[in-house]
Structure 1
Amino acid sequence: MPSKKYGALIADLPRRHANLLIQFRTNHVPLQAYMERIGKASSATCPTCGEAPETVQHYLLACPTYSLHRAVHFAPLGFSGRTMSALLNAKTSLRLLFNYVNATGRLRSAVGALIGPHSGYPDSDDDGDNT
């Protein structure tokens, strides 16, 4: 059973955003490391950089392919934008996290657009990328 704190964290999120957040927190998000673990991919290596296994930590904090996206989207968080705990547990970071996921396009085939006029996200603006 999720904690009351987690319930409060996701209370205002659309269901698919809350689902993605729990997938990130449990390492069950459709990235290469997980897909290899469940037998759906032949390799855990990151398909964009080829340097390391594509884990949640690699995707959010380390992949050189997305360094510009991280700089743009996580900059308002300062130093805490470089920690998994802050990204996945703070209400103030969730919009930035979903903006990052949306901007990279890495999970679009699995979760669709997370930000924009038809995303279901509260107070969502058109981000100019409605694909």
Structure 2
Amino acid sequence: LIQLRTGHVPLNKHLHQIGAWGTPVCMGCELAEETVRQYILECPADVSQRDELRKWVKGRQLELAALLSDKKQVKQLMHFIHDTGRLSTLIRVKRQQAVTREG
């Protein structure tokens, strides 16, 4: 959660900024830089999972600040992240690439 709040999360924009990834572009949609906001609120690759998140919010607009701070919304955000599988996939890919470079 702290990583999401600070932007120091294994998403391409941050990884590109620290020299760990070749491009800041989202691998899910290839349309924009992959930031926390883009991943959670905008990426078309995760629209079905985001729709589930919207159902829980019940008519309220999805707001990044609330999703990252309100206890109930944080819980639903964690479900969204789990359901997309994006962060676990990115972590696994980056670890494999690091091992390949070392070996």
Structure 2 residue 1 is the aligned partner of structure 1 residue 27: no
Find the aligned partners of 2:6 and 2:59 in 1 and give their Cα distance. 23
Runs of 5+ unmatched residues, structure 2? 93-103
Runs of 5+ unmatched residues, structure 1? 1-20, 112-131
Structure 2 residue 62 is the aligned partner of structure 1 residue 107: no
Find the aligned partners of 2:87 and 2:21 in 1 and give their Cα distance. 15
Q: TM-score, normalising length from structure 1?
A: 0.65
Structure 2 residue 32 is the aligned partner of structure 1 residue 55: no
- Following superposition, the deviation at residue 78 of structure 1 comes to 3.2
Letter in 1 for 2:25: T
Contact 1:80-1:86 within 8 A present in 2 as well: no
- Shift of the 54–79 alpha-carbon distance from structure 1 to 2, 3 Å rule, reads farther
- Following superposition, the deviation at residue 79 of structure 1 comes to 4.7
**Runs (4+) of structure 1 moved beyond 2 Å?**
78-81
Structure 2 residue 55 is the aligned partner of structure 1 residue 75: yes
Letter in 2 for 1:107: L
Question: Secondary structure of the residue that 1:53 maps to in structure 2?
Answer: coil
- Shift of the 80–26 alpha-carbon distance from structure 1 to 2, 3 Å rule, reads farther
Q: Cα RMSD between the aligned structures?
A: 1.6
| 1:65 corresponds to which of 28, 34, 45 | 45
Number of residue equivalences: 91
- Following superposition, the deviation at residue 52 of structure 1 comes to 0.1
Residue number in structure 2 paired with 1:9:
none
Letter in 2 for 1:90: D
